[in-house]
Amino acid sequence: DGGITQSPKYLFRKEGQNVTLSCEQNLNHDAMYWYRQDPGQGLRLIYYSQIVNDFQKGDIAEGYSVSREKKESFPLTVTSAQKNPTAFYLCATTEGLRTDTQYFGPGTRLTVL
Amino acid sequence: SQKIEQNSEALNIQEGKTATLTCNYTNYSPAYLQWYRQDPGRGPVFLLLIRENEKEKRKERLKVTFDTTLKQSLFHITASQPADSATYLCALGTMDSNYQLIWGAGTKLIIKP
C-alpha cells in the first residue's frame, strides 16, 4: 500500500445520500486515479488528475465527482445520481500521467443499504 | 469490441510446480503490458512490466512473455509456494486509450501444499 492511504475502509450509504471517499498520498506523485472494482470485471477508471486543480473523466464518471485542491489529496464523492455504487474503490498514483507503474491504496468498500 | 481477457476460473497448482497465467487482448495497439498481484480486500501491487518490443522479462521466480502476433502475454511463477496464492491482474497500456491502463478481471491462483 506504500504511501497511499484511503479512508474509511468500509462505508455504508443510504439511498439518496452523497458520500466522500478519502485518498491521501505522500509519494509526491503528480498523477492520481480513482478506479472501481466489481466482481468478475477489470478495474474501471472513474476520474484521474495529473496536476492540482485539474482532472479528467474516465470511462464511468457519471454519478461521481472529484476535486484536486492539493497535490497530496484526491477525494471522490459518490453522489445519489450513481444508481449502483456498491463496489470496491481503489485510489492509485503514478509519478507522471504516462508513467508506467501504478501504486495503489488499500481500498474502500462501499455498500448501499 | 476491445477486450482484455484472463481466465476467470481459479487455477489450482501443486506447490513446487510452475504456474502459468494467460492474458489475451483484442483490437489494441499495445505499448506495454503490466502484471499486478492482488490479495483479498487489498489494492493491487505491481510485479512486472513488458514493452511491446520485448519478448521476455524475468524477476526472481517470475517470468513474463509478450507475443504481439498472438496478442497474448503469459505470466509464469516457478517453484510456486502457498504464499503465491492471490489474484493476478494484467493491464495493457496503449496509445488507443491515451496510455490509460486497460485491465483484465484477474485470475485467482491457488497453490496447494
**pLDDT tens-digit readout, A14-54:** 888 999 999 999 999 999 999 999 998 999 999 999 999 99
Which residues in B lie closer than 8 A to residue A101 (C-beta atoms)? 34, 46, 49
Nearest-angstrom CA–CA distance, B16 and B82? 9
Task: Quickly list H helices, chain B.
Answer: none
DSSP one-letter code for B2: -
* pLDDT tens digits, one per residue of A46-90: 999 999 999 999 999 999 999 999 999 999 999 998 989 999 999
CA distance A56 to chain B (A): 12
Do B80 and B111 meet the contact criterion of CB atoms below 8 Å apart?
A: yes
* pLDDT tens digits, one per residue of B34-74: 999 999 999 999 999 999 999 999 999 999 999 999 999 99
End-to-end CA distance of chain A: 28
CA distance B49 to chain A (A): 8
> Which residue out of B8, B48, B100 would a mutagenesis test of the A interface target, given it has the greatest number of A Cβ atoms within 10 Å?
B100
Which residues in A lie closer than 8 A to residue B93 (C-beta atoms)? 100
* CB spacing of B4 vs A42 below 8 angstroms: yes
Residues in CB range of B60: below 8 A, 6 or more apart = none
Query: Nearest Cβ partner of B44 from A44, A104, A109?
Result: A104
* CB spacing of B42 vs A100 below 8 angstroms: no
CA atoms within 13 A on the CB side of A59: 13
Q: Chain B within 8 Å of A8 (Cβ-Cβ)? A: no
Q: Chain A within 8 Å of B94 (Cβ-Cβ)? A: no
What pLDDT does A99 receive?
Answer: 65
Mean pLDDT of chain B: 93
How wide is the angle at C-alpha B107 spanned by C-alphas B59 and A99, nearest 5°? 50
What pLDDT does B1 receive?
Answer: 57
Nearest-angstrom CA–CA distance, A22 and A76? 7
Residue type, A39: P
Residues in CB range of A12: below 8 A, 6 or more apart = A110, A111, A112, A113
What pLDDT does A9 receive?
Answer: 96
**A35, three cell numbers:** 478506479
What pLDDT does B61 receive?
Answer: 98
Do B44 and B105 meet the contact criterion of CB atoms below 8 Å apart?
A: no
**B36, three cell numbers:** 499486478
Beta bridge partners, B33, equal: B50, B92
Q: How many CB pairs under 8 A join A and B?
A: 54
